[in-house]
Every structure is written in C-alpha cells, then in structure tokens.
Amino acid sequence: MAEDEILLPGATDLHVHLRDWEESYKETVSSGTLAALSGGVTTVVEMPNTKPPIDNPEALSKRLELLESDSYVDCAVHVGLPRELQILSAMRREGAIGVKLYPKDFPRLREAFRAAHDQSLKLAVHAEDPEALVQDPVGPRAEENGVKEVCKVASRVGNVRFCHVSLASSVSAIAELKSHTNGVSFEVTPHHALLSCGPDYRQLPPSLNVRPPLRRECDRIAMFETLRNGIADFYATDHAPHTASEKESQNAPPGLRSLKFAYPLLLTELQDVAMACRLYCERPAAYLGETKGKIEPGMIADLVVFRTRTRPDGQEPEANSNEFDIVETGPFVGRRLGYKVEQVYKGGVLSYSSETGPLAKRGRREHSA
Ligand code: DOR
Ligand code: ZN
Ligand code: ZN
C-alpha cells in the first residue's frame, strides 16, 4: 500500500432501501449494491417497504433469491409486520433477521414487540407517531411522541433499535430507557448529523424531503455529537433513492440517496477513524452476529483501501488535490471528501477497484473462482 493509503474494515449499513421490482426505475439491487461496494460498504440490511412489500414468506423468498443473484455485497432483510403474526416464524426460518415497524404499525406495537421477542427476531422501529404525523408531517411532535410510546413498550421487553433518530430529546429518552433495559440501540443517519433545515422547518427545498425530516441546527449538532462521542450505537444511511426528476419536482417524495459516499463522508467529517469504524463497521457487524467489522485474525476479510488526503506527516492536506471526489448530486452535493475508495476486498478477494470497477457479484460463481 502507498504511504497515503489506509486499510479499514468494510462497513455494515443496518438501514437501506434498495428498490428494484416495481421501482427498478429508481434503483435495482444490482445498481444499489454496486454503489455500496464502491463506497466501501460490504454488508447492507434491507428494509421491507419495497413494491410489493416484504411482509410474507413468498415475497421474502423472492427477495432473498434476487439478493443472492444480483447483489455485490452481503445482504440481510428485515420483514414488514404481517397481518397474521404466526407467519413470522416461517419468515424467520426462511432467513429474515428482523422486523421493521412503521408508523402505521403503532396500534399493534405491543403485540409486535412480543412476537419479535418470541421469534428471536430483531426489531427496528421508525418511531414517529401516526396521529401527530397527520397533524404536522414535518414538525418534531411526531418523533417526540413516537419515541415516548416506543420507550413505554420497550421498557418491558427490550430488543429495539430506534431507526434514524433526529432530535436531541429522543437521545435523552433513549438514554433513559437504556439505563434500565437491555437490548436497546439507535441509529443516526448522515443527513441528520450533517444537514439542518434552517430557522423554518416548513421551508426546506423539496429535494431534501425525507422522513423524519431535517431538523433545526441545534438538533443537527446534537446528532453529530452522538456520533463523535459514540453515544449513537450505529451510523446507518437510510439510503432511500428516488429519480433525479422526482427529487427535483415540487412534490418530491421523501428519501435521500447516500450509500455511495456515506463511509468517506463519515471519515472526513468525524476526523476520528477509530470512532468511524466503531459506528459503521464494528458495532453493526457485532449486532448482526457477523465475524467481521474489525481487522483481526479470525475475522472475515471484508476490507477497504482508502487513499487519504491527510499526509502521513500529519500536515494539512493539499487543498487543490483533484483526485478526491466532490459529491456531485444528492443531499451532500459540493462536499469535498478527504477519503477515496481505491480497493474493496470481500472475504479476502478483490471485488472492486477504482481503476477497473467491480470484479464480481457476490452470489455469482466467478466470485469464488
Ligand atoms: O424518507 C424516507 N424514505 N423515510 C422512510 O421511512 C421511507 C423511505 C423510503 O423508502 O423512501
Ligand atoms: Zn424510517
Ligand atoms: Zn428507512
């Protein structure tokens, strides 16, 4: 490796919405996981709000087949809450690792917690209260009430991962829950840690529409701080792509595309390589029970070679180096990255190089050749 290169673990992103199926015009499993791989993310956990949704054994089995044939990275799946909770056991046997709850599932929160617990499935929650969402879809009340409600139920059962936490008050409520309950964790996204809405939260450009929405600067700083000090358990993108024309329209659908730059962005903004790896590699891999996420003997060799702008003597990086990506589209447009993915190894095999692009899909035979 060159002097200006560092070797880090591949990242595990616990929260992505790969599209495909009826939404293949937004992204496919192939294009989305290639974005992941080329950004140093070697494992992703999928959410079930695909079209059609992954909330029954047939859809799950089709999805797992598609992931097996088309994905460039390792994948795991959270299923949606089925109407008949008994089918969760079949989905668990089929390979689901967890259940994802949405605001629409709030009336069934207690039974969902119980069922996930009984089936040894992980539980991830989009904690926005549906009634408050109707009254004000972009105000903070929905998350305030939603987190409170989930904390109440979780204080009995534990086993909950709060997705995309975006308010300082949520961090306090979750810290309180953690102080007396096991199995509680939360994710912070790049957009909630790095972007805010300005003084009027109703005045955001439609292209930045996302759920939960971007918050005021004080909350943005609080979220960034949870990453800096490791109080957040995980950094996870909530990658949810739409087409450029959809995002440019006045009624832009919620969701941001962020998988390709999330890892270099975290390294650049945090300026703490060890903490970045804890949040995006080590802890999420451990949460999934995978022997990866750390560079140690016995660990699966999912590895990323980054070129870094920080010179080995610790001096300021070259200001005009044009070797590094400036993000060209999406929510982080214009940001200069201090890290560039040069090579990615999956299980010790070179799978991506910045010079040649991808070398093999995960599920394809050529991979093990
Ligand atoms: O902004 C969002 N987009 N929030 C969600 O919860 C879903 C996601 C999507 O799938 O588009
Ligand atoms: Zn969500
Ligand atoms: Zn999501």
Distances (CA, A) of 171 to 21, 23, 228, 234, 262: 36, 34, 14, 13, 22
Is any atom of ligand 1 closer than 6 Å to the C-beta of 257? no
Is any atom of ligand 1 closer than 6 Å to the C-beta of 80? no
Measured from the Cα of 209, ligand 1's closest atom is 1
Residue 115 and residue 47: Cα distance in Å, rounded? 18
Ligand 1 centroid–CA 47 distance in Å is: 10
Model confidence at 130: pLDDT above 90: yes
Ligand 1 centroid–CA 155 distance in Å is: 27
Is any atom of ligand 1 closer than 6 Å to the C-beta of 191? no
DSSP-derived 3-state class of residue 172 = helix
pLDDT of amino acid 264: 96
Percent share of the chain, pLDDT over 70: 93
Domain that holds residue 278: 12-294
Is the Cβ–Cβ distance between 21 and 67 less than 8 Å?
Answer: no
Res. 2 pLDDT band, cuts 50 70 90: confident
Measured from the Cα of 102, ligand 1's closest atom is 6
Measured from the Cα of 210, ligand 1's closest atom is 1
Pocket test of ligand 1: the residue of 26, 44, 47 to mutate, having most ligand atoms within 8 Å of its CB, is: 47
Is the Cβ–Cβ distance between 113 and 159 less than 8 Å?
Answer: yes
Model confidence at 242: pLDDT above 80: yes
Is any atom of ligand 1 closer than 6 Å to the C-beta of 127? no
Distances (CA, A) of 353 to 11, 38, 332, 349: 16, 8, 23, 11
Q: Is 41 a domain residue?
A: yes
Q: Are strands 5-9 and 349-353 parallel, antiparallel or unpaired?
A: unpaired
* Strand order, beta sheet including 5-9: 5-9, 303-308, 339-346, 349-353, 357-358
Task: Give pTM, 2 decimals.
Answer: 0.95
> Whose alpha carbon is nearest atom 5 of ligand 1?
211
Q: Is 353 a domain residue?
A: no
Q: Is 309 a domain residue?
A: no
Q: Is 338 a domain residue?
A: no
Average of per-residue pLDDT across 354-359: 91
Q: Is 330 a domain residue?
A: no
Is the Cβ–Cβ distance between 135 and 121 less than 8 Å?
Answer: no
Residue 163 and residue 127: Cα distance in Å, rounded? 7
Is any atom of ligand 1 closer than 6 Å to the C-beta of 183? no
Is any atom of ligand 1 closer than 6 Å to the C-beta of 208? no
Q: Which residues surround ligand 2, an ion (CB under 5 A)?
A: 126
Ligand 2 centroid–CA 162 distance in Å is: 9
For the chain, what is the domain count? 1
Residue 105 a catalytic site member: no
Ligand nearest to the CA of 15: 3
pLDDT tens, residue by residue, 26-70: 999 999 999 999 999 999 999 999 999 999 999 999 999 999 999
Model confidence at 263: pLDDT above 70: yes
Measured from the Cα of 17, ligand 1's closest atom is 10
Ligand 3 centroid–CA 23 distance in Å is: 15
Ligand 3 centroid–CA 98 distance in Å is: 14
Residue 249 and residue 269: Cα distance in Å, rounded? 30
Ligand 3 centroid–CA 18 distance in Å is: 10
pLDDT tens, residue by residue, 314-330: 555 555 555 566 788 88
Ligand nearest to the CA of 192: 1
pLDDT tens, residue by residue, 303-315: 999 999 865 555 5
Per mean pLDDT, which of 103-107, 155-159, 194-198, 334-338 is the most reliable?
103-107
Q: Is 118 a domain residue?
A: yes
Catalytic residue among 13, 20, 238, 302: 238
Q: Between the CA atoms of 307, 311, 314 and 319, what dihedral angle is there, to the nearest 10 degrees?
A: -100
Q: Is 315 a domain residue?
A: no
Q: Is 1 a domain residue?
A: no
Measured from the Cα of 49, ligand 1's closest atom is 10
Query: Rounded to 5 degrees, what angle do the CA atoms 179, 185, 190 make?
Result: 130
Phi, psi (rounded to 5 degrees) for 301: -85, 65
Q: Between the CA atoms of 74, 171, 53 and 206, what dihedral angle is there, to the nearest 10 degrees?
A: -100
Ligand 2 centroid–CA 359 distance in Å is: 32
Preceding amide of 212 cis, omega within 30: yes
pLDDT of amino acid 327: 80
Residue 195 and residue 216: Cα distance in Å, rounded? 9
- Say which CATH number the domain at 18 has: 3.20.20.140
Count helices and strands in the chain by DSSP H and E runs: 13, 13
Average of per-residue pLDDT across 75-94: 97
> Whose alpha carbon is nearest atom 10 of ligand 1?
240
Where do runs of H (alpha helix) occur along the chain? Answer: 29-38, 57-70, 87-94, 109-118, 130-135, 141-157, 168-180, 190-194, 217-228, 244-248, 262-270, 273-277, 283-288
